[in-house]
Each structure stands twice: as C-alpha cells, then as structure tokens.
Structure 1
Amino acid sequence: MMQQENAQQALPRAVAETLQVSGSNCETGLSSAEAQIRLKRDGPNEVPERKPHHVLRFLAKFWGLSAWMVELIALLSLVLHKTTDLVVALLLLVVNAVLSFLQEQRASAAVAALRQQLNITVRTMRDGSWKTISAKALVRGDIVRVRAGDFVPADMLLVQGNLRLDQAALTGESREVERTTGDTLYGGATVRYGEGTGIVTATGVKTYFGRTTELVASAHPKLHVEEVVSRVVRWLFLIVGTLVLVTLVVSYLNALPLLDTLPIALVLLMSAVPVALPVMFTVSMALGSMELSRQGVLITRLSGIEDAATMDVLCTDKTGTLTMNQLSLKLVQPRPGFSDADVVRFAALASNLANADPIDLAFLRAAGTSGQEEGHKATILSFQPFSAATRRTEAIVSVDGGTLRCVKGALRTVAEAAGLSQDAIMQLEDQASIEARKGERVLAVARAFEAGPLELIGLAYLYDAPRPDSARLIAELRRLGLEVKMLTGDALPVAQAIAAALGLGTIARVPDLQSEQSMAKGGSPVQGVDGYAEVFPEDKFLVVKRLQEAGHVVGMTGDGVNDAPALRQAEVGIAVSGASDVAKGAASAVLTHEGLVDIVDMVKSGRAIYQRVLTWIINKVSRTILKAGFVVVAFLATGRFAISALGMVLLVFMTDFVKIALATDRVHPSKRPETWNIGPLVRVAIALGFLMLVESLALLAFGWHRFGLADAGGKLQTFTFQTLLFFALFSIVSVRERRAFWSSRPSRTLAIAIVADAALGLFIGIHGLAELRPLPLAISLVTFTYAGLLVLGPNDLLKTLLTRKWGSVGS
C-alpha cells in the first residue's frame, strides 16, 4: 500500500513540538488504549446541552390560552363559592399539565436518541490505521483527516495540507480564511475547500470557542400544517365567537346574571382552541422519527417528514444511491510505450487512502491486488483533491529517489493538460464512448518527471453496478405517485446505460437546462425527462429551482459540500449514507443505509402522519360545531344552559385525551402525493358537524319530555354531557377512516383510550359528579346506542359519499 509519510524533522517547529508534547505521531497516531485513558481523564469532546429545569418546564404547562381559560373558570367558581367545581377544574388543569409534560418528555427522549445517532464522525489515525469514529470520542493528540464538507471537530494544528475554512458560525465573518501547515483550526469551522491532516490540541469545553458543532439543525421553519391549522382555528373562533356573542346578548335581555353566563362563554371559546394538537403532533412526529430511525432515516428538521408526504419528484444521485458505490477497475487502455501496469500504478499514486474516495479506493485496490507496489516505495509530498473546477486529482510523489507528478481525471481535461491535439482527443473520446455505452466511466491517467511536461499514459474504465433493489424501489416510488429523476456527473452514454438497467427513460444533459428553450415554462427539464447527465454539484440547485418553478415539491439527495445549497433549497433535502457533515447539516433527513429503501419508508411515514393530522382537523371542525351549536341552540330554545362550564371543561379534556392517542393510530398511507388543499375535507367535516348537531338536538327534544329533563336540571346536565361525549367518541371511530369505518382497526392505544373514555362517561352518568346528577343506567345506554347507530350508520355512509364526491384528500 502506498505510504503517506512526512519526516518528523521536516515539520514546522510548532507542529513537531505539539506532536512531541502530546505523545503522538503522524504515522501511527494514538493507540486505542491510550485514547481510552485520555477520554476518561478529559471527558468526551462535547459541551453539555443546557436545558430548562424540569420544574420550570412543568410550570410552563399552566401558561397559555387554554390554561388561562380553565384558570379563569376556577377563579369564577371560587367567587361563586362552587367548591366542587373549583376542585374539579384545578384537578383537570393539573392532570392535563402532567400528561402533557410526560408526553413532551417522551418526545424529548426520542429527539435525544436521534441526536446520538446524528453525531459527527471523523477519520482518525488509531493503532497505525485510519478509522472512522464519533467526534465525541476524540482526545488531545489524535491525528484527524478533514476534507471539503467536514466540520472541524475540535481545535487542531494543521500538520499537512491547505484548506479554506468558513468560520461564520464562530466569528460572524462571512469571508473564507486560508489555513496551511502549522496553522490552527478552530472546532466548529467548516472546510470549504482542500484537505489536510491535523493533530487535536483541545476538545469539548477546552476548545477556543467552548463548544463543538452539533449536526442537528437548530432552525425550525414554519410548517405547512401549522399554517393550515391556524387558518381552520381562526374560522372556528369566528363561528364560536358569533355564537358566544348571541348567547351573551340573549342572557342580558333575559336578565340572567353575567357570572352565570361568563363561564359557559369561556368554555365555548376554549372549544375552538387546539388544546390537543401540539401534544398530538409532537408525539406523532416523535414516534414517526423514532420508527424511521430504526429503519435507517434520521430526521434533522421537523418539516422533513411533513414535506415527504407532499413530495412528488425525487432527484437522486446515481453513485451510492442507485448503484453499489463499489467502483471496480474493469479495463485499461494504455498508450503506446506504456503497459496496463503503468496505468494502474500511476493512477494509484494519484490517489489518497485517507479520504476513502470510491475512485481512489478502486485504483488502490487494483494496485494492491496486482502487486504493483512492490519495489516502488512511495512518499506523497503533496496531494490536490478532485474539485469541480479542476476535474482531476494530482499528487507530487517521491519514488525510487525521484519526483513524479501523477494526474488522473476527466479525459478531455487531462488530455488537454498533456498537450494532445483536438483531433487526438476526439479520437480518444470516440474510443471511450464504446465502453461508456456499457455503463463504464472513463478516466485519463498522466505523469510527468520532475518539472517535465505531462504525458498521457492511458485510459482506465471503472464500473459501478446498479444495486439489485434499485429498479424495484424506483417502480415502488412510481406506484406511490413520485417521479424519479437520476442525477449523475457521468457522460450521457454512461448515464443512459445505467438508466436503461434501472427502468428509467429519457436522460438529458444538464447544459440543456441553460438553453433558451428550456428556460421557457413547461420546457424539457420537467416533461418527459427521467434524469440528467454531466451534472456538477452546483447544477443540482438549478435542477431543484426549475422543478419548483414548474409547481413540484422536490426531494433531492446529496453527499458533498457543494450539494448543500440544493439540499437546503429542496423541500426534502436528503443526505445519503456517507455524506459530508455540511450536507447532513443542510438536509432535512440523513440516510444510514445505501439505496432508496429508506426514502420509500420516509414517504410512507410522512403520509401516515399527514393522515393523522387530517383526522384531527375533521374531528376538530365537526365537534366544535356540535358542542357550540348544541349549547347555544338549546339555550335559545329552553332559556337554560344544558351543560355547565365544569361539564364542558371535563368534556374537552376527556375527548382531547383520545385525540392525543390518534398519534399512534394505524393508518393507510395514500397512493399519491398529499396536498394541503384540504378545503373539500373541511366541507365534509362541516356537513358531519351539522348533521350530528341536528341528531343530538333531536335526542334532547325526546329526552326533554320522555325522561323528565325539563324538571331536573342536574340530570339535564348529565344527559347533555353524555350525549356530546358519545357522539364525539363514535365520530373519532368514523372519521379516522376516509372509507367505511370498518375498513381498518384502530391502534390498540387509540382503542383503549376510546373504551376508557366511554366507561368513564357511563360511570359519571351512574354516580354523578358535582352538578352532574346521576341518571338511570337505561337512559345512559339509550344515549350510547343512539349515538353509535347514527354516527357509525348513516353518518359514516354520508362521510364516505361526500369524501368520494368532493375529492379525497386522504387514503
């Protein structure tokens, strides 16, 4: 294997002294045993996260619109000397705070588990070989390799290399800074260009800026669901506010005491507040994120899962995602005067093992397997990595007492640097195109002695076979309604060969995107194109913009530092397995497995969460209409409040407890991308709400005369409480399915919550609570049966028909 050695005495004095003091060296690094000793002594390379105290977080649950309303009701109960109402209101307030706090703790634990999996990894020399470890395990004296796209994991002294760093996150200075051998690198900076090896001088809280860079994105963009729910709640507030105003006016005209009317008015307003949504959505997202993490998808932005539900175009890298990312040397074509062994040997010399680059590793494996190294001990004096600007790698190597300049890269780039004529280059390209049609990638290899001219040695063909499951997964994504577009830097013939093997159709060249024709609306970038060839990383941003301008929700995969703008621009940025730290930081999801299987899981999970949110919205709209309408219409018809403030508060919290359980419900992801145009579904919810209102008022009219409710205020309160509760519970069973309610079974957690709520409602009916006086069991059973037969019978049929007529937004 090629040697990468630098004589210790040739290093700058500051570097040599640092190595000596730390007890480390560039050839072997630290031993694992010594690293463990230092890790125990100095602690992990991290700064403990500061979190609010648990007590403060719990007390925060008593602050907010819904909490204020319950507290005001408790205060009014105190003023009116309703001790039982006061105790129950305070008890409900505490129970809600405890449940919300516990669910938040559970979600926090899920996020913490994800953060553990999203920690930065680094290439470190341990026991004489390069290893990939967590940045938290770094210790003073470790030898670390950094390259473009990496975060600097700790304070380091650059032993070898030339870098350009972005320190904006640390100093606020947006201009990149140059760093070379002997310079200090501060932990948390981002490597924008170049690569190098450094020795760790400080970790964790001992670093200059006192922290390490965390990968989990801190930005929390506004979610579509928040905007949609806010719009729905605003309309509900308008409707309920109008009903409350009518109630207050009628109460005033009937000379009813304000203190008797105000509590019920407050509760009606509270019914429009999305009390359960934050907890339900947080739990749903946390559970979804944890499930995805077990399947290999790490969510770094909350919007990632949500946007995955609406994504309709996926742009995916070829290498490593659609192919095996295991390049192998298939063929070499040496120039006259050179042999196959020469092509392999000099290509290997222009490679760097420390970077773990697939192309470099392919040549190094080929050189090692064929025994090319024997008799040629080499020392790499300098190495220039591949970049989009140069399109080649270049190394200055000391071998057999002489100095060589070794180059490998794009055929035309290297051939022009070697001084070949255009005719000769075109002849080579024609020769290479024959192999390119088989899906093989061509690289040119050249060398120069000392300061002599560069000489083309020959061509090398690398092949990266498609993954066995790629064609199947592409077909599955298409069945889910997604367009899949392959992006590759390979030449058009290579891209077309791979696309044919994967079942993809037309492949276009990225330069065509910049033509005048493609700039027109509806041009070739969108219609009838299954991928793009000759793609540079910076071209991905252009592809995303063109697709978004055509009205698509775009997913984009990437792995390099230059992919970051495209990953951030795409609604669903996906950093693939082995991506750079900068790419991971810009993405909304990180894959831990190669291939598309994780993306399929992400799409299905996102659509499942979307369905749960839709179920909540339907329930919220229909139940608000039912509760507010029932109380106001009953008051206008009878001149009495059919339910007390305490009964309404109890009803709100009991049904919200069930709605939180919707986060665990078993749902069917839809077969096409979702859309936040939920107007048709809201109309369905309004229709169901008014239908339940009519049905419940009919039951009240029946009970008013047959059950003697007109002369028994306490029993009227209980009767109304049970009526609204049972209609709400059966409504959840119905609307959780867009089809007939029996099409799927609810989750165990949801089923238990519904049964527990129904049992508690029957118990309160039998024994009573405060002003809710006991009712005969027969009346409670009549109410339960009436609500169940209507909601799961004609109401469910109407729901199915209206959903089908007005356009299904769900499954």
Structure 2
Amino acid sequence: MDMNKMPEGMDHSKMHKGNDQHKGMSEHDHHAMMIADFKKRFYVVLALTIPIMLLSTMIQHFMGVNWTFTGSSYILFALSSVVFVYGGWPFLTGLVDEVKSKNPGMMFLIGFAITVAYCYSVAIVFGLKGMDFFWELATLILIMLLGHWIEMKSVMGASNELELLVQLMPSDAHMVMPDMVHDVKTDTLKENDIILIKPGEKVAADGIILEGESYLNESMLTGESKPVLKAKGDKVIAGSINGNGSFKVTVSHAAKDSYLSQVVKLVDDAQKSKSQTQLLADTAAKWLTVIALVTGIGTFLYWYLTGQTLAFAMERMVTVIVICCPHALGLAVPLVVAKSTALSAKHGLLIKNRTAFENARKITTIVFDKTGTLTVGKFEVSKVVSLNKEFKEDELIRLSSALEQKSEHPIATGILQKVKDLKLTIPQAENFKAITGQGVEATVEGKTLLVVSPGYLNENKLAVPDGFTANDTETVVFILIDQKLAGYIALSDELRPESAEAIKTLREENIKSILLTGDNSKVAASVSKTLGMDSFIAEVLPHQKLEKIKELQSKGEFVAMTGDGVNDAPALAQADIGIAVGSGSDIAAETAGIVLVNSNPKDIVSLILFGKATYRKMIQNLIWATGYNVIALPLAAGVLYNQGIVLSPAAGAVLMTVSTVVVAINASLLKVKA
C-alpha cells in the first residue's frame, strides 16, 4: 500500500478481488463497498474466532478445562486456515502489491506477521514440537479488520466533505426552448443556453440572470451566510439554492468550467498535494517499516539464541512487527489534510497550495490591498467638478463613462452607475489604451480623453487645479480633454463593517497589518487610522507593490499579501503567502496559494487561525503516532520480560488499532472558527 495515496483512505482499491468492474463508480461508492467488505469479513472471523479460542490448548489451560479430543488440532487448523485466507486476504494481497511496487509498508508488515504465525502453527499441527499460535492469529486478524473498518469510516468522513460539494450540483436543469421548457441533464448545458430556476431549487449552471429576481443562498459555496438578492444582470453560481422567486438564467459556460467544478477540482488537488509536514510523515512511515523488520528479526534471534523456545521467539517477533505498523503515522497528516481542505472550501477559503496554508501560522505581517478587501469596493460618485466652462458636470460624466465601460475597476463601476442614475447615453470610445496603474485613454467623439489618477498629474508635471479639495476618504480621478484639465470626479468607498474587528484580532495574534494602495496618502491615512492598522503605504503603482513586499521581507517579516489577483499578481507571487480575494470565477488567480471567495477581511483572520489549528492537529497526530511506538515497541520486544510484563500479539494489535483510531478521531475534531 502506497502511503502517498492516503487522503482517500488507504489504497485499499487493490485489496480484494473483483474491483475492476467497479472502475466506473464514484470514490464515495467505492469506499462504501470497501467498508461493507471489511464489516462482513470482521463478522465471519468473529464467528470463527470463538471456536478457535475454545479449542486452543493455552486458553483451555487458562480456563482450567481440557476439551481436546482426537482430531481437535485438525479442526483448529481448518478453522484457522479459513480465518487466515478469508480474514487475512486484504492484508495478503496488500503485501503482494507492496512487494511488487518495492514499497513495503503497513500491509507488508501485517501480511508478514500473520503468515509467519500461520506457517509456524501449521508446522506444530503436523509434528513440530511447541505451542500453536492459532488463537493469537485469529484475534490479531479480527482486531486488524475492526481497526481498518473503523478507520475507513473516518477516512470516508473526511472525503465526504468533498462529496457534499460535488452533490451541490443538480443533475437536471429546466432548459427554456422557444415553445416549451424542457428538462435536460446539467452536464449537457452550453454557453448562452437559457434555463429556468424555480423556487427552492438549486441553480444548475453559472450564468447571468435574464429576467426575474430572487434571494439566493450561496453559503455552501462562498461561506456568506445571508441570502443575497439577485436581479436581472447579476451573476449566479451553480449549486446556490434559490429562495421564493423564479428567474431565467443565461448560461455562461459548460458545467465542467463552472465555479463549483473548479472548487471541487481545487479541493481534490489540494487534498492530494504534498506539504512539508506530509513529506515528513511519509519519511517517518518508511523508516518505521524498516525499524519494524530489523527489530522484529533482531528480537526473534535474541530470544531464540538465548535459549527461549521457538514459539516464544516467534511470538515476540510477530508482536513487534504488528506494534510497529506505521498505520497511524500514515494517516496522521492525510486525514487532517482531507478534512481541512474540504472544510475550508465550505467556508469560502480555497487552498491551492498546501504548504502556503500550513505556513499561515508563521505570518508576522499582512499587507492589505484597500479596495474591495477592507472597503466594500463599491465606489459612488460623491461630486463632479468642472474646470472648463465648455464642459458641464453631466457632460464630464458622460464622456468619461465611454472610457470606463470596458473596465472592471470599482471606480469605473461608480462612474457607470452615476451615468445610469442620470439616464445619459454612453458614447463610443476608440483607440482605447490603459495607462498602467494611472488610468485610461481613448478617443471619444473626436476628442482625446484621459481619465487619470493624481499620480499621473504629478508625473507629467501638471498642476493640480486651484481650489481643489478632496476629503480624506475620497478617491479622485481627473479628466483631461485634448491634454487640458477639464475637471475631476470624486468617489468614495465605505469601509466594510467587519474590517475593524479583523484588524483587532490580527493585533491580538501579534500580526502587523499594513495598508498598501495606489490611492492618495490622505485616503490611506484615514482608512489606516480608522481601522487601527500599524501603517500604510500609499500612491504605489502595481510594479512598486512587489518592491514594497521585498522590503518587508528583507526586514525578516513573513509576509502575506491580499489582493484582487489582477494588478497585484507580481506582489502576490513575491509574498510568502499570496491570498487572492474576489468572488466568482476568478478562482484561477494563478499566483496566489489561497483564494478567498468572499472579499471579507474576517476570512483572512479565519484562514490564519484555521491554518494554525490544522498544523496543531497534524503535529498532535504525528506525536501520538510515533510516541506510542516508542513505549510499546520495547514492551513487545520483551524488555520487561523478567519483570513479568510482556505484550501478546493481540494486545499489540489492540494498541496499534487504538493509536490509529485516536489519530482518525483527532483529525475529525478539526473545526473552522467562523
């Protein structure tokens, strides 16, 4: 069994025959079938173990009875053979697979231990002097089957979180045809199809509302607990649950490209990806396998060569090997990984890079991009000032909207909203050009028009107009028409209600918060002071953001950067941990290790606290999984034999199973602090 495949439970797929026909089934069904198989084997072995124990000489001695009769040893042999072959089958096939892949581990050790015990006992039945091992063999297999059954249920619990995300997608959709509504399979939907969403149903595809409105519950996808009102023109995400209204949606893309499919893929990839902690656990498990074999054989030789019976030496070897099975160790990290990744996704934290997530515990400084993270990100025009009699305020808004209609920037959205409110017609723009970090330029109605930031005026030595005032929370853009300053538009963006609380929690965790923005110093200072942040860096162009991050790192800070992933991409890549914020299908913010679906600063705090909790769980599990071996292994080898303390193979199996179950339960207790 390859320990590296552990998040899906162990690689039990090869552990019994007849699995090839199930290749088409989901992992969930496959797991359920495996659990049922272990359960059945457990009960059959349990029924056979009772007569095996009653027929065993040692148990009879212990009970003070003598039930031996002619041929009783052969009946014992026959029953034990069934237990060995039927009950031990998963472990024996596992042993063969591990030998083939030259990767001995858990299954190799169990398979080896039960084979040694069985072969030796058979030799006793057919004439070798000594005590047979049949009852130890039966109880050992029984406990191993029980341990695997319980542990697979835990593993399945962790994988279930991902399965729940998959199940969010409805299988059918109501497709709107010209003459009727026709039910089709969700995975057949294409871009620009129109579907109808009825009250209480799940949205079948990502898209834009064509007509109608309703409140949608997106909590399973974004972690946003309040239902959100969606009306014509709004984006909807597949898997969200509709309230009481009904509406039609124009499908944006096929099901496989939907937000939910991308989340499921991300979660799946992250569960399979390795972090430093996982690699550490894998190495430890490999070493434990080597230690088990060397110590087991060494123990056997020591007792046998110092005059103990062959039976006693064999028993010590089998117990050592069983105790040493690196099972708990193999599960210690993957179970926490599977649980944490899926839980995060349900709370709107999408982990793309496991190491980045585990390193969240080391963060000393968080650099926040202001717009849309600490603020709501909805700019509203607070005033329009004309500096040229030729152009009235409404005309300035109308002309500048031509440049902004192609932009996704919050400032553009604010200007376009104002145009809508004033019921103005947006003119056409030609020769459109973006000036990185400073604004946009185009030709509108034959005039060269620029909508730019104050930084552009400074850089191009243009004077700021007399009487120009902007309060501390306003962002201003200037309008140049044919290279002459025609006026300016001031927009303001309100702070998110959760921001102050998030900054306060970071301070309690001894994490510095720094505001990094292209906005003017006055706005930055006001926001920083209001929220109680440690400092701010203002009027920074996108390429300078990268330099600022490097500067902080050179001072020994472990820096996390949050940004919208577009103009912040270089800085996100440079930061020790890049956190992309922004909902919807911007999920592929390639440079970030973590994507926050909601642009909520509280989610960043949750992420850090959850990263710490996850790391703690992994370390707890690793300590438990290795610690019990340190104590149990010498006892199994018989170090305290002269003091009358010795572990039987069955007791070894119980200890091994208990350690695995403790690790599984500990992983399942992981929670996200909302």
Alignment TM-score > 0.5, same fold: yes
Cα separation, 2, equivalents of 1:368 and 1:469: 30
Q: For residue 636 of structure 2, what is the aligned residue in structure 1?
A: 631
SS at match of 1:319: helix
Change in Cα spacing, 1:238 to 1:100, as seen in structure 2 (3 Å) is closer
Q: For residue 653 of structure 1, what is the aligned residue in structure 2?
A: 657
Cα separation, 2, equivalents of 1:137 and 1:331: 49
Bigger drift between 485-494 and 79-88 goes to 79-88
- Residue 652 of structure 1: how far off its partner (Å): 0.8
Cα separation, 1, equivalents of 2:193 and 2:449: 30
Matched, 1:426 2:428: no
Match of 1:105 among 151, 156, 159: 156
SS at match of 2:606: helix
Change in Cα spacing, 1:653 to 1:574, as seen in structure 2 (3 Å) is same
Change in Cα spacing, 1:243 to 1:299, as seen in structure 2 (3 Å) is same
Cα separation, 1, equivalents of 2:563 and 2:286: 40
- Residue 477 of structure 1: how far off its partner (Å): 1.0
Change in Cα spacing, 1:54 to 1:384, as seen in structure 2 (3 Å) is farther
**2:521 aligned partner, one-letter code:** L
Q: For residue 388 of structure 1, what is the aligned residue in structure 2?
A: 436
**1:532 aligned partner, one-letter code:** I
Change in Cα spacing, 1:139 to 1:329, as seen in structure 2 (3 Å) is same
Match of 2:456 among 406, 409, 413: 413
Gaps of 5+ in 1: 1-47, 120-125, 128-134, 144-152, 155-198, 448-452, 506-529, 670-811
Q: For residue 348 of structure 1, what is the aligned residue in structure 2?
A: 401
Match of 2:382 among 295, 308, 330: 330
Q: For residue 647 of structure 2, what is the aligned residue in structure 1?
A: 643
Change in Cα spacing, 1:636 to 1:557, as seen in structure 2 (3 Å) is same
Asked if the contact 2:323–2:636 (Cα under 8 Å) also holds between the matched residues in 1, the reply is no
- Residue 481 of structure 1: how far off its partner (Å): 2.0
**1:74 aligned partner, one-letter code:** I
Change in Cα spacing, 1:563 to 1:233, as seen in structure 2 (3 Å) is same
- Residue 464 of structure 1: how far off its partner (Å): 1.4
Cα separation, 2, equivalents of 1:137 and 1:539: 46
**1:346 aligned partner, one-letter code:** L
Asked if the contact 1:383–1:393 (Cα under 8 Å) also holds between the matched residues in 2, the reply is no
Asked if the contact 1:446–1:457 (Cα under 8 Å) also holds between the matched residues in 2, the reply is yes
Where does 1:244-393 land on structure 2 (aligned, <5 Å)? 247-256=299-308, 260-262=312-314, 264-265=316-317, 267-269=319-321, 271-337=323-389, 338-352=391-405, 355-371=407-423, 373=424, 377-380=425-428, 382=430, 384=432, 386=434, 388=436, 391-393=438-440
Asked if the contact 1:574–1:587 (Cα under 8 Å) also holds between the matched residues in 2, the reply is yes
Where does 1:603-682 land on structure 2 (aligned, <5 Å)? 603-632=608-637, 634-635=639-640, 637=642, 642-665=646-669
- Residue 320 of structure 1: how far off its partner (Å): 1.0
- Residue 80 of structure 1: how far off its partner (Å): 1.9
SS at match of 1:456: strand
Cα separation, 2, equivalents of 1:642 and 1:387: 78
Aligned-residue identity in percent? 22
- CA RMSD, 1 decimal: 4.4
Q: 1:396-420: CA deviations, max 9, x gaps?
A: 45xxxx545443122453798xxxx
Gaps of 5+ in 2: 1-23, 35-89, 99-104, 122-132, 171-176, 179-185, 195-204, 207-249
**2:119 aligned partner, one-letter code:** V
Q: 1:139-159: CA deviations, max 9, x gaps?
A: 25569xxxxxxxxx99xxxxx
Cα separation, 1, equivalents of 2:672 and 2:190: 48
Q: For residue 225 of structure 1, what is the aligned residue in structure 2?
A: 277
Cα separation, 2, equivalents of 1:497 and 1:292: 33
Q: For residue 537 of structure 1, what is the aligned residue in structure 2?
A: 542
Matched, 1:596 2:595: no
Asked if the contact 1:576–1:590 (Cα under 8 Å) also holds between the matched residues in 2, the reply is yes
Match of 1:88 among 139, 155, 168: 139
Change in Cα spacing, 1:464 to 1:350, as seen in structure 2 (3 Å) is same
Q: For residue 572 of structure 1, what is the aligned residue in structure 2?
A: 577
Q: For residue 435 of structure 1, what is the aligned residue in structure 2?
A: 470
Cα separation, 1, equivalents of 2:526 and 2:364: 25
Cα separation, 1, equivalents of 2:666 and 2:285: 19
Q: How many residues align?
A: 503
Asked if the contact 2:559–2:575 (Cα under 8 Å) also holds between the matched residues in 1, the reply is yes
Q: For residue 74 of structure 1, what is the aligned residue in structure 2?
A: 114
**2:156 aligned partner, one-letter code:** Q
- Residue 74 of structure 1: how far off its partner (Å): 1.4
Q: For residue 30 of structure 2, what is the aligned residue in structure 1?
A: 54
SS at match of 1:250: helix
**2:485 aligned partner, one-letter code:** L
Change in Cα spacing, 1:104 to 1:584, as seen in structure 2 (3 Å) is farther
Cα separation, 2, equivalents of 1:251 and 1:495: 76
Asked if the contact 1:299–1:589 (Cα under 8 Å) also holds between the matched residues in 2, the reply is yes
Cα separation, 2, equivalents of 1:49 and 1:202: 26
**1:619 aligned partner, one-letter code:** W
SS at match of 2:382: strand
**1:107 aligned partner, one-letter code:** A
Match of 1:466 among 475, 484, 495: 495
The structure whose RCO (Cα within 8 Å, separation 6+) is larger is: 2
**2:422 aligned partner, one-letter code:** S
**1:413 aligned partner, one-letter code:** Y
Cα separation, 2, equivalents of 1:658 and 1:565: 43
Cα separation, 1, equivalents of 2:310 and 2:539: 75
Change in Cα spacing, 1:215 to 1:53, as seen in structure 2 (3 Å) is closer
Q: 1:281-326: CA deviations, max 9, x gaps?
A: 3343444344444443233343354222332222221111111211
Q: For residue 481 of structure 1, what is the aligned residue in structure 2?
A: 510
Cα separation, 2, equivalents of 1:668 and 1:381: 48
Change in Cα spacing, 1:266 to 1:538, as seen in structure 2 (3 Å) is farther
Q: 1:557-593: CA deviations, max 9, x gaps?
A: 1213343444345443322133763653443332233
Asked if the contact 2:502–2:602 (Cα under 8 Å) also holds between the matched residues in 1, the reply is yes
Change in Cα spacing, 1:136 to 1:544, as seen in structure 2 (3 Å) is farther
Asked if the contact 2:332–2:622 (Cα under 8 Å) also holds between the matched residues in 1, the reply is no
Q: For residue 40 of structure 1, what is the aligned residue in structure 2?
A: none
Cα separation, 2, equivalents of 1:358 and 1:49: 46
SS at match of 1:435: coil
Cα separation, 1, equivalents of 2:464 and 2:33: 72
**1:54 aligned partner, one-letter code:** H
Cα separation, 1, equivalents of 2:562 and 2:253: 34
Bigger drift between 51-60 and 406-415 goes to 51-60
TM-score normalised per structure 2: 0.63
Cα separation, 2, equivalents of 1:464 and 1:248: 75
Change in Cα spacing, 1:476 to 1:641, as seen in structure 2 (3 Å) is closer
SS at match of 1:426: coil
Q: For residue 757 of structure 1, what is the aligned residue in structure 2?
A: none
SS at match of 2:372: coil
- Residue 479 of structure 1: how far off its partner (Å): 0.2
- Residue 467 of structure 1: how far off its partner (Å): 1.9
Q: 1:312-344: CA deviations, max 9, x gaps?
A: 222221111111211111223321323322322
Asked if the contact 1:392–1:408 (Cα under 8 Å) also holds between the matched residues in 2, the reply is yes
SS at match of 2:116: helix
Where does 1:179-194 land on structure 2 (aligned, <5 Å)? none
- Residue 534 of structure 1: how far off its partner (Å): 2.7
SS at match of 1:325: coil
Cα separation, 1, equivalents of 2:169 and 2:536: 30
Cα separation, 2, equivalents of 1:270 and 1:104: 21
Where does 1:800-811 land on structure 2 (aligned, <5 Å)? none
SS at match of 1:265: helix
TM-score normalised per structure 1: 0.53
Q: For residue 520 of structure 2, what is the aligned residue in structure 1?
A: 491
